[in-house]
Amino acid sequence: MTDFAPFELVIFDCDGVLVDSERLSIQLDVELLAELGWPLSESEIVARFVGRTEAAMRAEIEEHLGRDVGTEWAAFSERYVAAFANGLEPVEGVSAAVDAIQASGVATCVASSGDHRKIRRNLAKTGLLERFDGRIFSGDDVEHGKPAPDLFLHAATVMGVDPARCAVVEDSRHGVVAARAAGMTAFGFAGGVTPGAALAGPRTTLFDDMRYLPRLLGVAG
């Protein structure tokens, strides 16, 4: 680790931070919700659901509609998988940024609201899996998903790092709220689907280009 690095661990969200999946997901979310009978705009979906677990999203939809949506949900799940298989790419500049951070000696891991199968599939599809293999944490690993701090605190505990020495790279409002609640420093990526204003807050640095991340973290000149 470089002598001046202020962090011992950088925790990356996956969707929208490592893999450019949110735009694909939101387009399908609009279609799904319209078919279910709860039409929402893309901006409403971003505010409500981006960064949360699939279970939390489904629970809120079912509460609003007053019925189970299991059949429709299962049918749409196949469409999500197909969309990612055909069009998923890494977030621009993130591969080089991760390499620079890891080369500095600072530890890294992934903590995402997705399930382990989805995280690994998306990281493999974008060539990022080997950079994080064995250091992947899922919303399924904890009782309370984002915006609760549980997932980030779990990752820090397993990695053996004090939360105060952790940086979290997030692209969602729920994610940065979780990072702050965990006592960590948030780096809000405003180059995705969530407006920077929704990410702003205490102990949060906003940026819109992954090439800047190593320097913002203090691991590159």
The model's pTM: 0.87
- CATH code of the domain occupying 9-20+89-217: 3.40.50.1000
Residue 1 in this model has a pLDDT that exceeds 50: no
Task: Give the count of beta carbons closer than 10 Å to the beta carbon of residue 88.
Answer: 17
Quick one: the chain helix, strand, coil %, rounded to 5?
A: 50, 15, 35
pLDDT digits 0-9 by tens, 181-209: 999 999 999 998 899 999 999 999 999 99
End-to-end CA gap in the chain: 14
Task: Give the count of beta carbons closer than 10 Å to the beta carbon of residue 65.
Answer: 13
* Residue indicated by tokens 């299962």: 74
Phi and psi torsions of 205, nearest 5°: -105, 125
Topology at the third CATH level for domain 22-87: DNA polymerase; domain 1 (1.10.150)
Tell me the domain boundaries of the chain: 9-20+89-217, 22-87
What positions carry a catalytic annotation?
13, 15
User: Confidence class of residue 3 from pLDDT cuts 50, 70 and 90?
Assistant: very low
- Cα–Cα distance, 142 to 43 (Å, whole number): 28
Tell me the two tokens of residue 125: 């599809």
To the nearest 10°, report the CA torsion of 75, 78, 82, 85: 160
Closest CA to 189 of 72, 32, 50: 50
- Cα–Cα distance, 37 to 212 (Å, whole number): 42
DSSP strand pairing (185-189 vs 166-170): parallel
pLDDT digits 0-9 by tens, 120-151: 999 999 999 999 999 999 999 999 999 999 99
Residue 22: per-residue pLDDT: 79
Phi and psi torsions of 158, nearest 5°: -65, -40
Please tell me which of 53-67, 83-97, 146-160 the model is most confident about, judged by mean pLDDT.
Answer: 146-160
Task: Give the count of beta carbons closer than 10 Å to the beta carbon of residue 193.
Answer: 19
Contact 17, 170 (CB under 8 A): yes
Rounded mean pLDDT of 71-80?
83
Residue 205 host element (H or E): strand 204-207
- List the beta strands (DSSP E) in 92-203: 107-112, 136-138, 166-170, 185-189
Same fold? 9-20+89-217, 22-87: no
